[in-house]
Amino acid sequence: MTNITIIGSGFAALTAARQLRRRKVDVSITMISPRQDLHFLPSVIWIPARLRSGDRLKVPLAHFFRKYRIDFVQASVTGLRDNGRTVVTDRGEFSNDHLIVASGGKFIRKLPGIEHALIPCDGIAAGEDIARRLDALKGGSIAVGFASNPEEPGAMRGGPMFEFLFIIDTLLRKRGRRPGFQIVFFSPAVRPGARLGERAVDGLLAEMKRRGIATKLGRKILRFEPRKVVTESDEIDADLILFMPGLTGPAWLADSGLPLSAGGMVKADAMCRVEGMANVWVAGDAGSFPGPDWMPKQAHQADLQAIAVAANIAAIEAGGEPSYRFKPELVCIVDTLDAGMLVFRNERFSFVGPKLKIFHWLKRIFERHYLTTFR
């Protein structure tokens, strides 16, 4: 039987497997990942407010694997051989007829002193650490910022940082502690969040001003110190630093033989085929794809790419040619704990909604849908 091997157990990996079964492709599916549960990182933003706990955001996948007949291998990938037909891991080697790279990316940690900053999307433990640190502060300064991959500007995840910024502000106000804090937002971009659209950026910056959040924009970040962010033009004192660096591909890609972009991602076409490789596919943060400059690195876009991968593999296995192109699409709700702002973009139009309470609840409904699906 044809074997499809999927590297990863995140959104792109799980969606690809589910879509393959829904298309009734008669194949065996092997999934390789060091973790056999899904960590629902989009909801880490709510951990500091105790709206969510870390344990609640860990979804065991044993039921999912049984339901979709997936052979799970708990292992870490170290490289590839035979033009992608063999996956090399710390638990042995695994052959395949189709390979789907859905292992996600990693954060660039080259800035000196980056260990002094907390990276929220590092995982659930990072969210819990932010909650503990915030609870322990009696006052002072909090700096929140993000940057991109300088070699691939689209390889970034800025949306959660706007959410942490506004949620921390809202939380401190609810607790009656906001007057004792200075909150600063920093970024080397002059207009951070530009992928959301100009109207969205205007709205975000206006919201910061309304909340009394200072901004330090358009200044290159030089380094972090234990209680300080140092830029090319000034220094930001901070008792708590939250920072999201740019993304690049996972370390094992260096020994994969796959074509990589300047930013260290796997180069792919609009059908998610890895350039120059037969039956090797990529979906999600590990890939570098053609598309508009606003195309996001987010779970929704990873799902759309995984759907394309499954459709194209199904076409090949049915004796046809791959023709399904993924849709570039951005769906983002910037949550503020008590409300949210909806942003939607595709290649035809864009929409920026006002800040409304219903969008906060819509984000929670979206979370419930995902968690139910994978549980």
- Are the C-beta atoms of residues 356 and 340 closer than 8 Å to each other? yes
Confidence of residue 117 (pLDDT cuts 50, 70, 90): very high
CA nearest 265: which of 279, 277, 254?
Answer: 254
Max CA-CA distance within the chain? 66
pLDDT at 200 (0 to 100): 93
pLDDT at 351 (0 to 100): 92
% of the chain residues with pLDDT over 70: 100
CA nearest 76: which of 91, 96, 59, 93?
Answer: 91
pLDDT for 306-349, tens place per residue?
999 999 999 999 999 999 999 999 999 999 999 999 999 999 98
What type of residue sits at position 303? D
Helix (H, G, I), strand (E, B) or coil at 149: strand
- Average pLDDT (259-276) is 97
The highest-level CATH class for domain 109-246 is alpha beta
Confidence of residue 204 (pLDDT cuts 50, 70, 90): very high
Other Cβ atoms less than 10 A from the Cβ of 237: the count is 13
pLDDT at 372 (0 to 100): 86
- Average pLDDT (201-210) is 96
Helix (H, G, I), strand (E, B) or coil at 218: coil
Residue 73: beta bridge partners? Answer: 32
pLDDT at 371 over 90: no
Confidence of residue 243 (pLDDT cuts 50, 70, 90): very high
* Pairing label, strands 77-81, 86-89: antiparallel
Average pLDDT, the chain: 95
Element of type H or E holding 146: strand 140-146
- Average pLDDT (26-32) is 96
Domain 3-105+249-317, CATH among 3.40.50.9100, 3.50.50.60, 2.40.30.60, 3.40.50.720: 3.50.50.60
CA 38 from centroid of its chain's CA atoms: 13
pLDDT at 295 (0 to 100): 93
Intervals of CATH 3.50.50.60 along the chain = 3-105+249-317, 109-246
Identify the DSSP state of 298: S
Residues 6 or more apart whose CB falls under 8 angstroms from that of 176 comprise none
Residue 140: beta bridge partners? Answer: 181
- Are the C-beta atoms of residues 33 and 9 closer than 8 Å to each other? yes
Structure tokens at 58: 């860990």
pLDDT at 374 over 90: no
